[in-house]
Amino acid sequence: MTSSALPDTLETAAARLRDAVSTLRFASPVHTVYNPLEYAWEAHRTYLARYGTPPKPVVLMGMNPGPFGMMQTGVPFGEIASVRDWMGIRSGVVEPGHMHPKRPIQGFACTRSEVSGRRLWGWAAERFGSPEAFFSRAFVINYCPLVFLEAGGRNLTPDKLPAAERGPLQAACDAHLASVLAILTPAWALGIGSYAARRMQTVIESLDMPAPPRTGQVLHPSPASPLANRGWAGAVERQLTELGVPLLP
């Protein structure tokens, strides 16, 4: 078998995405773009290799990295304590060549905690116990790997980019998502938040899959969401039950 005929893997798919988005350019108000698939590649590879073995009954997908989550650790929703202490991933991040002065990359030395990641992975740890138990049922990805920061340090989400910049980015991210779905062959593919759910639905509808996964949306754990602040874990478990997703133990 030639190398070109080898089956796709999460690592090769992530490497394609890493290289594809690294060539894209973004104008003001974007000041700094971080690509964790470059400077946190080894940590991301560890996450894929350790927990991404297919198949996965359920795939959960967020939008893009948060400043104190995947931006620091290379792991989706990668709140530092959860990644370090629960998943056991403690290294694999180097400083990028250019950093935003108000949002430096500190990797696992960062002392800030991302609320969204703490809620998601804290729920997984409490409900499933071990990471092996959770990841035997599900896998968590982000749609877009890039972080967009304005001059003042404010996070700019991909859906706020102008169409001329958003189009090429979505093309690369859609292609990666299609590869991930083909590799993991989930029965369910859920967007965490409305943007991720829309991209998931769009990509699945564009694919010629003999048995496409069922889709749905669950509440994003962001502290900007009043519903999430009133009890994200309980709300998501109700949504999973209503959708009929066989994830809960």
* Residue 12 included in any domain: no
pLDDT grade, residue 2 (50/70/90)? Answer: very low
Domain span at 63: 19-241
Average pLDDT over every residue of 141-165: 97
- Total domains in the chain come to 1
For residues 153 and 103, the answer to whether their CB atoms sit within 8 Å is yes
Q: Give the pLDDT score at 210.
A: 85
Question: What CATH number is given to the structural domain containing 157?
Answer: 3.40.470.10
Task: For 165-213, give the DSSP string.
Answer: HHHHHHHHHHHHHHHHHHHH--SEEEEESHHHHHHHHHHHHHS--SSPP
pLDDT at 38 exceeding the cut of 70:
yes
CB 18 within 8 A of CB 11: no
* Whole-number average pLDDT of the chain: 96
Looking at the domain assignment, is residue 93 inside a domain?
yes
Query: What's the confidence (pLDDT) of residue 3?
Result: 41
Residue 210 lies inside a defined structural domain of this protein: yes
Residue 6 belongs to a domain: no
- What phi and psi, each to the nearest 5 degrees, are found at residue 34? -105, 135
CA–CA separation, 180 and 9 (whole Å)? 8
pLDDT in tens, 41-89: 999 999 999 999 999 999 999 999 999 999 999 999 999 999 999 999 9
3-state secondary structure of 70: helix
